[in-house]
Chain A
Amino acid sequence: MKARKKKPMNRRLKNNLTAYGFMTPWFIGFIAFTLFPIIFMFAVSLTNRKLTGISQYIGFTNYINIFKNPNFWNSFRVTIFYTIIVMIVTSIWALLMAMLLNHKNRLNGIFQFCYFLPSVIPSVALSYAFRSIFGRDAGLLNAFLSSITGKNVLINWLYDPAFVYQTVFFITLFTYSTGQMMLIYRSGLNEVSKQLYEACDIDGANSWQKFFHITLPQISPVLLFNTVTGSVSALNGSFALLYPLTGEEGNPNKMTQVLSLLIYNESFSNQRVGYGSALSVILFLIACVFGIIIFALSKKLVYYEN
């Protein structure tokens, strides 16, 4: 006891060392599985490395070739478009489901089960289910539309350039990240103070006013969090959803070939790992830009207490 009192410096040092000790797994993980791969990726992107491992330094040739390649520009556009729309669509849908579930009534447990279950099933299973639901012959949607309209609807939803995007965006409502967003919204909504709503009731505000003046500002930090993680999941999860859904070529006419599919296609099917690394660098930079934009916007739009 005496020693402790006499040496506050020592105690602080011990405290700091304990804290760093707790954090050691992350230090190692960050260096080995994030920082090093990032540096290594830049290095490999400057070579013509093949899948077999043969490689030679070629400077910025990969980047020059990438920027000259129309396939890249197509994937670039598709990735930006896909990420932004998925981010918006899944955020809204998740919030809608969370708000519906917060209106508690009987059978709420069953509703939550129905809402959440699709997001816990494998994306491969989901992709195959939707490939047949949106199929041309004997697809569930075409059968449903035929029975409503009385005509024989024969649309190949996932292969028709006019419908493929709507169909894919609809399917993203069923993914893991949408379910997770819904959970986070639910706890965010639970933490909004009831008194604020009561105060509004006294003022005679209607549901819309309550939503825009209380719910939305109160959950805006959660909304930001979900938008950020949603954009990462869209960049990240696009592979697991689209690879079984529309293939590595991104059918039809490469319309759904996001960068992750192009990276897989170039690195494995074409065995050009160096080129694939350069594409990965670009994908990495896109993610950084998304992050920076969202945080810059959030400073203006998000409401924080204190």
Chain B
Amino acid sequence: MSNDYQVSKKKTSKKNKVTSKLIYVLKVLVAVIMFTPIIWILSGSFKTLTEFTTSAKIIPKNLILDNYEYVFSTGNFFKYFRNTVLLMLGTAVGTLLSSSLVSYPLARMEFPGKKLFFSIIIGTMLVPEISLIIPKYIMFGKLGWLDSLLPMIIPAFFAFPYNVFLFRQFLRSIPKELDEAAIIDGCSHIGLFFRVIAPLSKPIYITIGILSSVYWWNELTQPVFYLNGDNWRTLTIALMTTFTYIRGGAFVVSWPTIMAASSLMIIPPMLLYLFGSKYLVEGIKTSGIKG
């Protein structure tokens, strides 16, 4: 009896070893697939145009820095950088403040209309931004906001549904007893929010702060529609316009400079990720997701 048990245990542990090796191989394979474009961008940024268009070798013949020099000296790299940082910070501050405030009563208070408002928030999550971009373009034109960052920053101060949803999920997971204790002590909801709930919600603030910053750093669609001139151009648009063609050359695509600009653009989101990776999983609460 006991012998049988031992044998079967050995068998499963052997099987487990094989499975975990297979999983490890799969893990490495996926990692290689996912990381290839980044290696490609980095390697391309050090190649000459001729080398880039004739050879697919990952390691460049000789590392040249001309492409980076070109990016810094053509157009107004630093102005585009400033614009993109302003866009990123403005939207992050706006959405963190407004979305957390809006999510508070949805997660922790009872009031008439709560279910209805929450359903509308979920409903608006399903409306793709791109379908409303034409009427908004006309609207922001009337307000005189086009060719500035306002069409993207101002709405952030009025709560994005997706972020409200993520905040609500997190706030619901904080024990309710805290509220009761604080209210008995004579604390108002506003005091409770700023002194108790917000400090306890640090992981979700960091999570959404990172996700939002990364999103706006990378955003292309809205700048393409709302920005025309050079003054408020963001890096994503500059990548499609300023850095695309060779110096003085009309329509020769300058791949290595695109790769150099791309390499530079990868750095901030990468740093944000490295800083916040441990919060990213902790902050998102999926318990009680009901569509």
Contact = CB atoms under 8 A, between A and B. Distances in A.
Interface residues of B, number: 102
Give the bracket for the number of chain A residues in contact with chain B.
Answer: 35 or more
A273 B236 contact: no
A22 B102 contact: yes
B231 interface: no
B53 A120 contact: no
Secondary structure dominating the interface of B: helix
B239 A128 contact: yes
B240 interface: yes
Contacts of A264: 224-225
Contacts of B277: 109, 112-113, 116
Interface centre among A105, A113, A129, A139 (most CB of B within 10 A): A129
A38 B56 CA distance: 48
Contact of A117 (B130, B135, B273): B273
Contact of B34 (A23, A115, A183, A240): A115
B93 interface: no
Given A33-B158, A109-B277, A100 B221 contact: no
A174 interface: yes
B172 interface: no
B105 A111 contact: no
Nearest to A277: B134
Contacts of B255: 128, 132
Contacts of B101: 22-23, 25
A188 B286 contact: yes
B59 interface: no
A55 to B, nearest CB: 10
Interface centre among B36, B262, B286 (most CB of A within 10 A): B286
A283 B27 contact: no
Contact of B266 (A25, A111, A125): A125
B34 A121 contact: no
A18 interface: yes
B23 interface: yes
Contact of B104 (A22, A144, A236): A22
Interface stretch (A60-68, A84-92, A155-163, A220-228): A220-228
Contacts of A112: 277
B175 interface: no
Interface stretch (B62-70, B74-82, B115-123): B115-123
A108 to B, nearest CB: 9
A232 B40 contact: no
B259 A229 contact: no
Contacts of A130: 37
B157 A235 contact: no
27 contacts: A15-B110, A15-B111, A16-B112, A18-B188, A22-B104, A22-B109, A26-B159, A36-B139, A37-B139, A115-B30, A117-B266, A120-B214, A120-B269, A121-B265, A122-B217, A122-B218, A122-B236, A130-B37, A222-B289, A224-B289, A225-B289, A228-B291, A229-B162, A240-B218, A260-B130, A276-B134, A284-B132
